[in-house]
Chains A and B, each alone.
Chain A
Amino acid sequence: MNTQMRFDAGAPHAATVVARTQESPSIFTLRLRLDDAAAQEAYRFAPGQFNMLYLYGVGEVPISIMSDPEDRDGIGHTIRALGRVTQGLAKLRPGDRVGLRGPFGRGWPLQEISGCDLVIVTGGLGCAPVVSVIHYVLRRRERFGKLVIIQGVKHADDLLWREQYEAWAKLPHTQVLVAANEGAAFWPWHVGRVTELFGLARFDPACAVAMMCGPEGMMHAAAANLLERGLPASRLFLSMERNMQCAVGRCGHCQLGGAFVCRDGPVFNWGEVQPLLAHRGF
C-alpha cells in the first residue's frame, strides 16, 4: 500500500457508485469506490472532512464524508438534491461514474473529547458531518463519556433516519433530544423550539465538547445556551458552509474574514468565527 498517495491535488479521480440508498424523497446516500483499487485502499480521511464530487460535464460540489474512516470498502456521502449538480447526482445508479477529489479541510477534534461527554447539535435535515461523528463514537463507545444528541426540525416529517434516533435513544449513556416546530401523529419527541430542550441536556460542562452543524441562526442560539450552561467556548465547535469552487484555498469563494473555510475549516472553534458570524455578510 502506498501511503504517500494523495487524491486532493489537481484533477479528480475516477470513482464508481457501488450502492445508492434513498433516505427521504430528496435525500440519498451514494457509496463510492475509487476505480483504482490501490487508490481506494490508500484513501484516508477524518470525520468532518469533505470531498469534491464531480458530475460529468456539469461540475463539482463539496460533500461531507459520512462513512466510517476505518471502512476501506467505500466512501459514503449523504446528499440532498437541490440544484444543478446535486439533482444530477441524485439520478446516478450503482455502476455509474463520478469524479472525486479529497479529502479536504480540518475535521472534528475527536482527540480532544477522549473520555469526555459529547454534545451534538444539529438543525434542519440533520447534517452528514455530525451523523458521521455519532457513528464514529458509537463504534468506539468506551473512549467517550455521555453522548447527547440535540436536533431541531421544522416539521416532524423532516427528521431523517427517525428509527435510528429511536434506537440511539435506547442506548446507555446516550440522550436524544429532538424537537419539531410542527409535530405529527405518533411523534415521540418534543413539539416546539429546539432551544427549549437545552435545559434537559445532561452533560458535565467541565468535561464536555459540543459539535454543531446546521443553519447559522440555530447554531447561534445553541451556542448561547451551551455557553450559559457553563461549557467553555474553547470546547464548542461548528462546521461551516460557504460557496466552494476549488476546495484548496485558491478560488476565494469560501472566505470567512481571513479564513478559507475549505482549508482552515470547515470545522472551526466557536471563538474563531463568532465575531464575524455576528455580522451578516461574511
Chain B
Amino acid sequence: MRAHADPAVLLPIDGLPALLAALGRDGYRCIGPAVEKGAIVMRELDGNDALPRGLQAEQGPGHYRLVADPHNRYFAWANGPQALKPLFFAPQETLWRAGRGDDGALRFEAVLPEAPKLAVIGARACDLAALALQDAHFLRPERVDAHYAARRARLFLVAVQCAVPAATCFCGSTGDGPVPTAGYDITLAELPEGFVAHAGSDAGRALLATLDLAPATPRQLDAVQVQGEAAAAAQARALPGKDLHDALMRRLDHPRWDEVAMRCLACGNCTAVCPTCFCHAEFDQPALDGASSTHQRVWDSCFGESHGHLHGFNVRPDIRTRYRQWLTHKLAGWHAQFGRSGCTGCGRCIAWCPVGIDLTGEVAALMAEQP
C-alpha cells in the first residue's frame, strides 16, 4: 500500500456528525448516502440525517438489493446507481441564452450555473478515478468547460476505502481500487472502533485539524491495510488487461456482437449510470413569448437513435453497431483520447442493465476466440 505523507488519525465511530458539522461550518453543503427506493443514492444531507448504517449492496447482473451488514458498518454498501457524475456534469443544464430584440438583432449571453460548495461523503476509489477521467475530458486546458469547472472547483471529497466490494466490482483489475489513492481531500477506512482518516489536500488537512483527533495506532493501520487487500482479493470479476485496445479492434467482426445485440435493449441505462460516459446532446428551448431561447445540454447515449443521425443516414443503425460503439469506445477509444481505458471497474453497468449484460463477460466471450 502507498505511504501517506500525513499521519493517520482516528475519527471515532460516532464521529461522523462532527465531521459533517465541521464541513457545514466551512460553508459546504454535504452530499452523502441515503436510502431511496431500495438503493443507496447520494443526496444532500440535512443536519439531522443519520447516515445509513448496517447495509450492504448485494449486486449481480441486472440485480441490486440492500441487505443487512452483520457488522453494522456505515460504508459496507459498495455503491449505488449514481456516481459523482451528476454533481459536476449536470443531467441537464442551460449553456447560453439567445435574445431577439424588436429590430431582429440577436444577443447571446453565457448562462453559468450556481455552484454551491459541496462536500461529498463516501466517494469510492472507482468514483475518484472516474472523476479524474471526467476532469481530463471537461477540463482540457485548451477548452475548459465553464459549467463543469464552476462546480468542480468548489468540491470537497471525503473518500472511503471499500471493505465489502459488490459481486459486480472489478476495480482491482482496472487498477482503480478498492483503496482510494488520489483525488480526495480526506479518505476514511472504517474499523469497528472508528475511521482511520488521512488528508489528501490542504483543505482536508485543515479540516481534520479542527476535529482534534488522536493518531491512529500501528495496529489500526495494519487492519486498514489488511482490509484493502482482502477487498481486492474478494473481487470475482475482472477485465483481462488494462489495455484491450488492439485486442478489441481486431475483433470488430466477431459474431459475439450479433449475439449481444439479440439481448441488449438499447435502453442506455449502462451509459446513464457509467461514471465516465460524457456524451450529451444540445437543443434549444424557446421561451413562450418568443423573445428568448435557451440552449441546453442533456445527457445522451450512444445507444439512442439520434446519436449517429446524419440526414438520410444513420451511422449506427442497429444495436450491434451501438453496443460495439459503447464497448470499443469505453475500452479502446479512450486509450487514444485519454491515455487509459474509460472503465474504472465500478460494475454499475452490470447491475443496472435490465437484462443483465455484463461487460466483463462480453469481453471474455470476445477474447475466447482468436480473431
- Chain A positions within 8 Å of B, measured between CB atoms, are 9-14, 35, 54, 56-60, 82-83, 86, 95-99, 241-243, 245-246, 248-253, 255, 257-260, 275, 279-282
Nearest CB of chain B from residue A49's CB, rounded to whole Å = 16
Partner among A10, A82, A86, A252 whose Cβ is within 8 Å of the Cβ of B279: A252
B219: CB under 8 A from chain A?
Answer: no
Whether B106 is near chain A, meaning CB under 8 Å from some CB there, is yes
Known contacts A57-B284, A58-B284, A243-B310; decide if A281 and B315 are in contact (CB<8 Å): yes
Tell me whether A279 and B315 are in contact in the complex, defined as CB-CB below 8 angstroms, given that A59-B283, A251-B279 are known contacts. Answer: no
A248 touches B98 (CB 8 A): no
B315→A282 contact, CB < 8 A: yes
Q: What is the CA–CA distance of A253 and B337 in the complex, to the nearest angstrom?
A: 14
Contacts of A83 in B (CB 8 A): 311
Known: A57-B284, A282-B315. A35 touches B310 (CB 8 A): no
Find A11's partner among B95, B286, B325 (CB 8 Å cutoff): B95
20 A-B residue pairs with Cβ-Cβ distance under 8 Å, sorted by A, are A9-B143, A14-B107, A56-B100, A57-B290, A58-B284, A97-B106, A241-B310, A242-B315, A243-B307, A243-B308, A248-B143, A249-B143, A250-B278, A250-B280, A253-B308, A257-B332, A258-B334, A258-B336, A259-B336, A260-B337
- A281 lies within 8 A of B320 (CB): yes
Is B138 interfacial (CB-CB < 8 Å)?
A: yes
In the bound complex, residues from chain B placing their C-beta under 8 Å from that of A11 are 95-98, 108-110, 295
Contact with A along B285-304 (1 / 0, CB 8 A): 01000100101010010100
Q: Is B279 touching A253 in the complex (CB atoms < 8 A)?
A: yes
Chain A residue numbers with a CB within 8 Å of B295 are 11, 60
Kindly state the separation between the CA atoms of A96 and B105 in the bound complex, as whole angstroms: 8
- B interface, over-half SS: mixed
Closest chain A CB from B296 CB (angstroms): 11
Q: Are the CB atoms of A12 and B284 closer together than 8 Å? A: no
Q: Which of B89-121 contact A (CB under 8 A)?
A: 95-98, 100, 104-110
CA gap between A5 and B132 in the complex, in Å: 31
Q: In the complex the two chains form, is B306's CB within 8 Å of A243's CB?
A: yes
The answer to whether B325 and A281 touch across the interface, beta carbons within 8 angstroms, is yes
Whether A12 and B310, one on each chain, are in contact in the complex, defined by CB atoms closer than 8 angstroms, is no
Chain B: interface size category: 35 or more
* CB closest chain-A residue, reference B111: A11
Chain B residues 304-339 with CB under 8 Å of chain A are 306-312, 315-316, 320-321, 324-325, 328-329, 332-337
B238 interfacial by beta-carbon distance below 8 Å: no
In Å, the complex CA distance between A248 and B142 comes to 10
Least Cβ–Cβ distance between B355 and chain A, in angstroms = 21
Is B145 close to A, CB under 8 A?
yes
Across the interface, do A279 and B96 meet the contact criterion of CB distance under 8 Å? no
- Provide the bound-state CA to CA distance between A184 and B121, in Å: 73
**Are B137 and A242 closer than 8 Å at their CB atoms?**
no
A5 vs chain B, min Cβ distance (A): 15
B244 to chain A, nearest CB (A): 13
Report the nearest A residue to B287, measured CB to CB: A57
- A10-B96, A13-B108, A245-B281 known; A250 and B145 CB under 8 Å? yes
Once the chains bind, are B105 and A279 in contact (CB under 8 Å)?
no
CA distance A58 to B104 in the complex (A): 15
User: Most chain-A Cβ atoms within 10 A of its Cβ — which of B146, B295, B315, B320?
Assistant: B315
Interface assignment of B140: CB less than 8 Å from any CB of chain A = yes
Residue contact B307 to A99, C-beta cutoff 8 Å: no
Shortest Cβ distance from residue A99 to the other chain B in the assembled complex, whole angstroms: 6
* B252 contacts chain A at the CB level, 8 A cutoff: yes
B66-110 interface bits toward A, Cβ cutoff 8 Å, 1 = contact, 0 = none: 000000000000000000000000000001111010001111111
Instruction: Say yes or no: A251-B107 contact (C-beta < 8 A), given A246-B282, A258-B335.
Output: no
A155 to chain B minimum Cβ distance, whole angstroms, is 16
Asked if B108 and A82 make an inter-chain contact with CB atoms under 8 angstroms apart, the answer reads no
A251→B107 CA distance, assembly (Å): 24
B309 and A258 contacting across the interface, CB-CB below 8 Å: no
B300 and A253 within 8 A (CB): yes
